[in-house]
């Protein structure tokens, strides 16, 4: 069935709930209960592996740089290091120009938010109310950006039937003609699906035909246990027209509190993006950018990070087996489990917290209802395998014992 204007989330109580943080909703859901065992939190995707050894020494060498305002586009060593990493890591049509095609960010979240505001201005007048397309379930910053930009958010269901990625062939021309941007996450959060080059190429064809921006969230690209995920930039053509990729050190380098990432791609879009961020977004401190220079110049800590996640997914394979529709995701560190036969996502989350001391997030809280009332996240729970392997194994054993 084609995704049209009528496929957006209905303006009802469920939609209002969707405006709120899924983590706050989970806290409210579990507030009446006490954990039945020592708490293990798998709800928040906050990496807990060790901070790389080089972070402290680099900060110490550049501590004086906290005494001056940073330039908003990022220091030249950072932009060069990030561009070099992209060229080494991905099969790009050409190297990224660090002067015009890359900007530093306070992590990818603020960049993804401000990109929606920029896209609404950059793309210009549309045939109808401007729209931003969002995978459903989704990262909350996408919907917040669409709302702030004054665009209609159209949610594209990502289900097992379509490989947990938006079905591009289900989009009708009328919707695409008023689209200013589409958010795509690969690896996807929460399901871990990875877009193929063919998928990215098809998306690029649509963006060029209808003149909208592709905002590609690739913050999980370095966490995988099989093939390395690709980038939208690999399929964006020699000028990266209509495509911008967003990266972060939070997951790749276990630095969620440092808040450093970047946006790279279409130079014209990034020029307008920089103008907006230059007056509206906080700059990234220079010492943190210097840490990022070291991080993007080192792969040893990233390989060790992947090794630790691989151990935990091996444990999930053994402990979960084929229960709850489990499959080892292609990327990311989340597990997406079907608990529809165990009372649904909210009931399962309560039971796991109350009886097993395991905190998870209901899948319906990560998504919005579609026009037919269905919620693509309903019946699922998300687990973030961010704790150490022993804690992860204990949580998974508790989960199986409690739900069986």
Query: Using one digit for the tens of pLDDT, what is the confidence trace for 86-139?
Result: 999 999 999 999 999 999 999 999 999 999 999 999 998 999 999 999 999 999
| Strand pairing category for 380-384 and 361-362 | antiparallel
Asked if the peptide bond before residue 137 counts as cis, ω within 30 degrees of 0, the response is: yes
CA dihedral sign of residues 193, 195, 199, 200: positive
Reading the block at residue 120, the tokens are 């609404």
Under a CB-based contact definition with an 8 Å cutoff, are residues 263 and 115 in contact?
yes
**217/79 Cα distance (integer angstroms):** 18
Looking at every residue in the chain, the average pLDDT score rounds to: 95
Specify the pLDDT at position 187.
98
pLDDT class for 15, splitting at 50, 70, 90?
very low
pLDDT at residue 13 greater than cutoff 70: no
Summarised one tens digit per residue, pLDDT across range 67-84 is 999 999 999 999 999 999
Specify the pLDDT at position 16.
53
| Structural domain spans, the chain | 7-50+301-403, 55-297
Of all residues in the chain, what percent are helix, strand and coil, respectively (each to 5)? 45, 15, 40
CATH 3.40.250.10 fits 55-297, yes or no: no
pLDDT at residue 206 greater than cutoff 90: yes
**2/4 Cα distance (integer angstroms):** 6
Specify the pLDDT at position 20.
86
Under a CB-based contact definition with an 8 Å cutoff, are residues 132 and 119 in contact?
yes
Specify the pLDDT at position 2.
52
Exposure string of 180-197, with b = 16+ CB inside 10 Å and e = fewer, is: bbbbbbbbbbbbbbbbee
- Please state the rounded mean pLDDT for residues 19-25: 91
Phi first, then psi: give them for residue 216, nearest 5 degrees.
Answer: -100, 110
- Please state the rounded mean pLDDT for residues 342-368: 98
**182/273 Cα distance (integer angstroms):** 16
In 183-285, alpha helices (H): 197-210, 249-252, 267-280
Summarised one tens digit per residue, pLDDT across range 39-51 is 999 999 999 999 9
Bridge partners for 50 per DSSP: none
- CATH architecture of residue range(s) 7-50+301-403: Alpha-Beta Complex (3.90)
- Please state the rounded mean pLDDT for residues 273-298: 97
Under a CB-based contact definition with an 8 Å cutoff, are residues 103 and 96 in contact?
no
* pLDDT above 90: percentage of residues in the chain: 93
CA dihedral sign of residues 93, 98, 102, 106: positive
**330/166 Cα distance (integer angstroms):** 16
**338/218 Cα distance (integer angstroms):** 25
* pLDDT above 70: percentage of residues in the chain: 96
pLDDT class for 5, splitting at 50, 70, 90?
very low
Which residue in 126, 141, 135, 181 sits closest to 155, CA to CA? Answer: 135
**226/279 Cα distance (integer angstroms):** 42
Summarised one tens digit per residue, pLDDT across range 373-389 is 999 999 999 999 999 99
Residues in contact with 25: Cβ distance below 8 Å, sequence separation at least 6, in sequence order: 17, 362, 365
**125/91 Cα distance (integer angstroms):** 34
pTM: 0.94
Specify the pLDDT at position 18.
53
Bridge partners for 181 per DSSP: 132, 213
**53/58 Cα distance (integer angstroms):** 10
pLDDT at residue 265 greater than cutoff 60: yes
Summarised one tens digit per residue, pLDDT across range 321-332 is 999 999 999 999
Specify the pLDDT at position 17.
56
Reading the block at residue 217, the tokens are 């969230």
Alpha carbon distances (Å) from 219 to 18, 77, 171, 224, 251: 23, 21, 26, 12, 7
Give the CA count within 13 Å in the CB-facing half-sphere of 237: 15
């Amino acid at each position: 069935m084609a995704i049209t204007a009528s496929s957006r989330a209905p303006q009802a109580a469920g939609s209002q709930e969707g405006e709120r943080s899924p983590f706050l909703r989970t806290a409210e859901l579990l507030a009446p209960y006490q954990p039945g065992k020592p708490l293990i939190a798998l709800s928040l995707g906050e990496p807990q592996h060790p901070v790389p050894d080089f972070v402290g020494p680099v900060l110490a060498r550049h501590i004086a740089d906290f005494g001056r305002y940073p330039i908003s586009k990022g220091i030249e060593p950072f932009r060069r290091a990030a561009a070099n990493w992209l060229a080494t890591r991905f099969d790009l049509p050409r190297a990224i120009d660090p002067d015009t095609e890359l900007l530093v960010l306070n992590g990818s979240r603020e960049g993804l938010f401000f990109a929606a505001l920029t896209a609404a201005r950059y793309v210009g007048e549309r045939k109808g109310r401007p729209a931003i397309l969002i995978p459903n379930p989704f990262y909350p910053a996408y919907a917040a950006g669409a709302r702030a930009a004054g665009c209609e958010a159209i949610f594209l269901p990502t289900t097992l039937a379509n490989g947990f990625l938006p079905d591009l062939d289900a989009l009708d021309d009328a919707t695409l003609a008023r689209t200013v941007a589409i958010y795509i996450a690969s690896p996807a959060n929460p399901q871990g699906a990875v877009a193929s080059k063919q998928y990215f190429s098809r998306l690029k064809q649509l963006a060029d035909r209808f003149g909208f921006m592709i905002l590609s969230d690739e913050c999980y690209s370095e966490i995988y246990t099989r093939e390395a995920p690709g980038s939208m930039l690999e399929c964006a053509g020699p000028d990266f027209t209509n495509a911008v990729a967003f990266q972060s050190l939070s997951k790749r380098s276990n630095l969620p509190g440092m808040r450093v990432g970047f946006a790279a791609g279409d130079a014209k879009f990034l020029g307008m993006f920089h103008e907006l961020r230059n007056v509206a977004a906080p700059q990234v401190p220079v010492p943190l950018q210097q840490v990022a220079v070291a991080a993007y110049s080192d792969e040893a800590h990233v390989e060790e990070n992947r090794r630790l996640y691989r151990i935990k997914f091996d444990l999930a394979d053994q402990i979960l087996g084929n229960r709850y529709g489990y499959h080892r995701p292609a990327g990311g560190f989340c597990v997406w489990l079907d608990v529809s036969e165990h009372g649904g996502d909210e009931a399962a989350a309560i039971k796991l917290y109350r009886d097993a001391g395991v905190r998870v997030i209901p899948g319906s809280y990560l998504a919005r209802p579609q026009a037919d009332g269905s919620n693509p996240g309903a019946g699922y729970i998300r687990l973030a395998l961010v704790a150490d392997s022993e804690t992860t194994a204990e949580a998974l054993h508790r989960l199986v014992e409690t739900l069986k």
